[in-house]
Every structure is written in C-alpha cells, then in structure tokens.
C-alpha cells in the first residue's frame, strides 16, 4: 500500500457536474468509500450533476456511445461501434442497458442503491441554487438534501476539506 | 450551513481544460465567488480551455447536444432530442443559442461579463505554453494574462492553494 | 510568477477517469512535471482511464470530433467540421492522426514516451479493482503497476497529498 497512514481523512468535498450514468459512479463510490472511513462527506451537485438527485432521476441517467472512443466495445461486436452506427435511434438506450447489465453482473451496486447508501451513511447532498434556477428545478423535485446553496456555500465547505475533487 | 467557518479560504487554483460553453461557467463562477470572498485566485488555461481567454473568443464558445444525454431537453420538444437529430447541421448553433437564452432569462451573467468581472476582481489568468505551441496561439491572441507558464509554474501555484480543481 | 515559493510540493495524487487521446495528456504532463520537481506522484486509473495503462494500449487511444465544438478545426478546412461530417466512418481515425501529427510537429512527447518517462521517474500507477472487474481486465493485461486497489486505497493516498485532481 502506498500510504504510510500519516494523515487520517477527516473531510472530503466533491463537485458533481456531469449527469451521465458512467460519470455518476465515481463520485458516489468515492463518497460512500470516504463515509465508510468515517470522513465527513459533502457533495455539491451543479449543472448536469443535479440530475443525480432528482427524485427517481438517477435510474434514468443514460450513457451515449457517440463521440466516445474510450467506451468499451459492446459484447456482441468484435469491433468498436463507429459513430455513424452509435447515433442511430435506440443506441443510447442500448448502451445504457448494456452498461447496467455489466455492472449488475459484476456485483457492483446500482446507482439507486449507491445513492441511498450514501444518504444512510450521512453523506450530505447540496443542490446548487443557480443551477436550480437555470433548469427550473424546485427543492421539492429533489431527494432529501442538506440544503440549497450557491458557490460561496460550496467554497466554505471546500476550504475546510482534506480532499477536493471536481467531477 | 455545513461549515463551521474553521478555516478561511486564502487561495484557490483552477485548471480549465474544457472549451465548451456549458463547462466554461463552473470555473468562472467559482473563480468570481472565491475572489468575492477575498481569496487569491489563479486559473491555468490548458488544452481546449485556452479558448476561454482568446480575444473575443468566449462569446463564440458552443455547446453540442450530440452524445450528451445529460443535457436538458429543449423547450420546444416534449422529448429529449435523439442523436440522429442532434447531429444535423445547425443543431449545435441551436443548442448554443437556446442555452444562452435560458441563462439570460435566469439573470445569470453572460460568459463575457463573468470573464471581465473575474479580471476586475483580480483573478489571475495563466496560459499554458505547451497548449499555445500545439494550437499555434500567440500571447497577443489572448486577453490580458498574468503570464504564460508550463506545468511547473502551475504546480508551484497549486502546491500553495487551499483548493485545487481540474475542470 | 504567481508563487512566492512558500510551500514545496511534496506529493500529488491524480484520478484518471478518461480514456481519450486528448485527455490522456494532462495527467501525464502534470505527473511527469511533479516528479521532475521531486514530488511523490500517485495516479489512480479508474473507469475509461484504465485504458491508458493497458499493455500497448496508450498508443491506441483515440479522439472523436463528434459533439466536441471545442476541438480546433482541422488544417485542411477553413471551417469547423459539422457533426454530420464528423460522424462519418474514418473521421475518428482522421482526427486522431491529425492530432498526433500536430503533437509531433510541436515537439511534444508521444503518450507512449510520456508514460515510460513517468514510470522511469518513479510515478506510481494504481489500477482500480472495481473497474478491472467491470471491464474484465487482469493485472497481466496492464503495464507495471504499483498495485490494484479500491476506493479506500485511493483515499488513503489522497488524504496525504498536497494536490488532488480528478481528471
């Protein structure tokens, strides 16, 4: 192991700005991992990231294969799928359901379960107020959040954190 | 509020690597927010991010709906726009102007005004020299910058910062 | 220069989550730059980022112009390439080879050489175990890594770092 355990993780603050299925995993896995280590965890959901905390929203997140040459090729195909095929109707849904199946087969939690685990472990969710105004989202549209805050509120939390990440 | 105000934000350093209209907002909103709190703010513009500080460039930033299932659906449509429609000529311009209109209607500053505010508030802009060489950009092509530096210069600033984010 | 050299960079930990050619440069340039300054550098390769450390994999990374209005326009064209052209078969390969040529002409190292330099300079590579399970990757499929670890292992390293970035 790389670490000599010199410093214990006390707090971590994440900014979540992406709302696709694949990019929803890293913040939730990091958040639940940090909470399991006893750290205070705050997540500031901004821009497309706010989709993760819409009521029943996280199960609707999708992933599009278009313009993403770094996505693993689908199991049914010996070759990566070219963009001209990826952009056909139905391919976003197909990529999404294939990734969901792979995740399930691997025994990794669904996003819905990860989000619930995070809440049960005390991870605090913060919604970005300018984003809510821009996308016409009310607090009632969201899962339980610790509060709705602006950039200043985020910066106050981040200044006090051992680890800050923008995802 | 989550924070107990234990630590005051003294300095923040951002890396800006994206050059799309949507991803230009987070760094500029965080930068002006931090400057308003009295922090020293440095931004290192690298890769596509350098487009934000090209003279008259920030108003030309665009947003493409292709391959982005996390973008809010347009107001005129009851459904998200499929990729096969999004990739038609004119759709990038349409998505860009729709997002601009929404931002204006919400009372959020334009990117141009945010960039000027940041400069007036003393946020320091640093251009990445390898990126300038790669994209054949001269210092004269850029808005006023504090300097053109490489990775070592960035790391020197970041080592001294309370918050570091890669955007 | 912005920095007053108050603090020396002792350690930096990067999360690499993207597997495209363009987004492979920032972490490797930052990592080698930090190593050259004598810092301890750890990189945690997760999600698509794991493609960077597949054996012979880094030279196969691609870049797609579809849905990326922030990419520089190709030299042969006076205008940015519209999505309807970018998604034609062969355009991903063309964009990749054009970017590679530009990088070579500028005298910037290839990704393969950067990766080797990082290893020679003592940068430690860590593979994300849930990603390996998800993408069915064995340790033997990877270049020499310091180890395969989960989120807790990453957080231990990150808690001790002066700079943390999620790329």
What DSSP string describes B94-163?
HHHHHHHHHHHHHTPPPHHHHHHHHHHTTPEEEEEHHHHHHTT--GGGBS--SEEE-HHHHHHHHHT-SE
What subunits make at least 3 CB pairs under 8 angstroms with C? A, B
Which residues have C-beta within 8 Å of that of residue B101, sequence separation ≥ 6? Answer: none
Look at residues C108, C87, C134, A158 and name the one whose alpha carbon lies nearest to residue B87: C87
Cβ under 8 Å to A: C residues 27-56:
42, 46-48, 51
Residues C126, A2: C-beta atoms closer than 8 Å? yes
Distance, in Å, from the CA atom of A87 to the CA atom of C100, rounded to the nearest integer, reads 26
A1 pLDDT tier (thresholds 50, 70, 90): very low
Q: Angle at the Cα of A28 (from A140 to A115), degrees rounded to 5?
A: 40
Which residue from B minimizes the CA distance to C15? B166
CA distance C19 to chain A (A): 5
Contacts of A167 in chain C (CB under 8 A): 17, 166
Cβ under 8 Å to A: C residues 67-86:
67-68, 86
* Least confident segment among A41-55, C98-112, C140-154: C98-112
Largest CA distance in chain C: 52
Residues B124, C7: C-beta atoms closer than 8 Å? no
Write phi, then psi, for C52 (nearest 5 degrees).
-65, -25
| % of chain C exceeding 90 in pLDDT | 59
| Residue C104 confidence (pLDDT) | 82
Checking if the pLDDT of B3 tops 60, the result is no
Residue pLDDT, tens place only, C121-152: 999 999 999 999 988 899 999 999 999 999 99
Write phi, then psi, for B147 (nearest 5 degrees).
170, 170
User: Region B148-152: what's the mean pLDDT?
Assistant: 97
Alpha helices (runs of H) in chain C, residue ranges in sequence order: 21-36, 83-86, 91-106, 111-120, 129-134, 151-159
Tell me the Cα Rg of chain A: 17
Distance, in Å, from the CA atom of A146 to the CA atom of A143, rounded to the nearest integer, reads 10
Residue pLDDT, tens place only, C58-100: 888 887 776 667 776 666 565 666 666 666 666 677 777 777 8
Residue pLDDT, tens place only, B107-118: 888 899 999 999
**What pTM was estimated for this model as a whole?**
0.88
Tell me the Cα Rg of chain C: 17
* Least confident segment among B89-98, C114-123, C126-135: B89-98
CA distance C151 to chain A (A): 6
Q: Report helix, strand or coil for B17.
A: coil
CA distance B129 to chain C (A): 11
Q: At which residue do the structure tokens 């106050």 appear?
A: A156
Distance, in Å, from the CA atom of B129 to the CA atom of B136, rounded to the nearest integer, reads 10
| Residue A154 confidence (pLDDT) | 98
């Amino acid at each position: 192991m790389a670490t000599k355990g010199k410093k214990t993780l006390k707090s971590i603050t994440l900014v979540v700005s992406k709302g696709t299925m694949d990019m929803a995993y890293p913040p939730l896995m990091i958040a639940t991992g940090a909470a399991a280590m006893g750290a205070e965890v705050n997540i500031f959901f901004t821009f497309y990231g706010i989709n993760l905390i819409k009521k029943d929203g996280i199960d609707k997140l999708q992933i599009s294969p278009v313009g993403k040459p770094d996505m693993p090729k689908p199991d049914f195909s010996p070759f990566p799928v070219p963009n001209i095929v990826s952009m056909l109707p139905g391919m976003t849904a197909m990529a999404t359901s294939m990734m969901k199946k792979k995740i399930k087969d691997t025994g990794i939690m669904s996003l819905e379960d990860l989000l619930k685990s995070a809440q049960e472990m005390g991870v605090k969710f913060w919604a970005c107020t300018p984003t809510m105004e821009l996308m016409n989202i009310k607090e009632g549209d969201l899962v339980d959040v610790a509060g709705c805050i602006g950039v200043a509120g985020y910066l106050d939390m981040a200044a006090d954190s051992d680890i800050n990440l923008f995802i």
